[in-house]
Amino acid sequence: MAASSGVTTSTGRPIAIDLYAGAGGLSLGMEQAGFDVLAAAELDPIHALTHRFNLPQTAVLCRDLSDEPVLKVASALIEAAKASAQAHHTDEPVELDAVVGGPPCQGFSVGGVRDAEDERNGQFLRFVDLVVALQPKVFLLENVAGLLEPRFESLRKEALRRLTVDGGYEVTGFDEAVSAVDFGVPQRRRRVLVMGSRIGDAPSLMADETAAKVTVGDALAGLPSLRSYFALLSTDQVPLKVDDLARLRGARSTYARILAAQEIAADDFSWPRVYNDAVLTNSLRTVHKSKSVQRFRNTPQGGVEKISRLYRLDPETQARTLRAGTGSDRGSHTSPRPIHPENARVITVREAARLHGYPDWFRFHGTNWHGHRQVGNSVPPPLAAAAGRALVEALGSPALSRPTEAVKLGDPEWLWMGRTEAVEELARLAGAQQDAATKPWSTT
């Protein structure tokens, strides 16, 4: 039995719900592809509040999606989407077009133990069950390449059975991984993208083999060296000096110019954001010991520093996969960060975001631990947008245009809140909006 999926919009854009949404990389990519993401769900309150900051038109439910019956969860998601539509659009009923999401992947990850019994693997089938309950026209499930290992064969088969037999979907993507490099991301990141349709052939994702690969140098073009920005030792943002601002705006890399809002990609249908490009954000510096600085300086580009085992970025090629580290439930371990290709230090959150494909207006938590975790855990927006365009095509390629109305970002104070503060702020926002969908969903 499917939950009622009637929601409302007046934009003519297809509608999506994002599950296990993190800080919003997949939501942003879907928006760039032409979707309005009306609702999202994320367990971590710090991630959820960051998502709310960057995508203020999306209702965010901060909740474990597995602790209540599927239909109850599905109904709450639909009610949240309805409330979001009523707040930002008019009341023209339409069907839910897409459900997307990247359920927790630590049990499958090549960076972890790859445990077939990891309890977080259960969220994978919960995502499948929510797709079947919500009955969107199309769906996208993103996960790590480790999902394809033989030890997870029974899990894949069960997921496929539920999607095809119970859900009525044509499905692709369970047989191979794709590389983010092939979709305009300067990072060697392999992912599984499972897509399905119940209205026709399953969506397919094809890379442009003739397109030039984006490099680390392309990605970091225009960003300053930070040596003279002493304020970044205690804060994550500073006004750019005149010369550095001119360098940012004059970067020759098309990739960097798009992320710095100096150009707009022809296939970008996202809502413009109100932001000040003269302020550098998410650039809190890491203080290294003098011996570490010297070792970093002596490490060749593309090489590995022998003591820390950190590798140094090569500007002529792509980065290795950016890692997220672990959350507080798994020991709060910091992920290894690559060494900057030109400077003897590890990269900042903003530089990591450039390597992931995030525009410069997109903000992350102000601390290095949370900020790098949010980047590393997320779907690179260019990869998400490519998948989103495949979903749009499967929907019949509705006519799309880039909105002209600029969206104001959230309160910057949210980006420095700890877990308790974030929980309280999310509850306050839900109450202020009188969101019927979030009231039954305690954020504690």
Catalytic residue annotation: 105
d(CA 160, CA 218): 39
Output the CA–CA distances (angstroms, integers) from residue 15 to 39, 138, 139, in the order listed. 9, 11, 11
User: Cβ neighbours of residue 24 under 8 Å, at least 6 residues apart?
Assistant: 18, 40, 50, 51, 54, 55, 362, 378
Q: Which of 191, 241, 153 is nearest to 25 (CA)?
A: 191
E strand or H helix that includes residue 246: helix 242-249
Q: In the numeric block, which tokens belong to residue 45?
A: 């309150």
Radius of gyration of the chain (CA): 21
Per DSSP, the three-state class of 416 is helix
Query: Could you give phi then psi for residue 22, rounded to 5 degrees?
Result: 60, -145
Query: Could you give phi then psi for residue 236, rounded to 5 degrees?
Result: -105, 5
Kindly provide the b/e burial profile for residues 299-313, where b requires at least 16 CB atoms within 10 angstroms of the residue's own CB. Answer: bebeeebeebebbbb
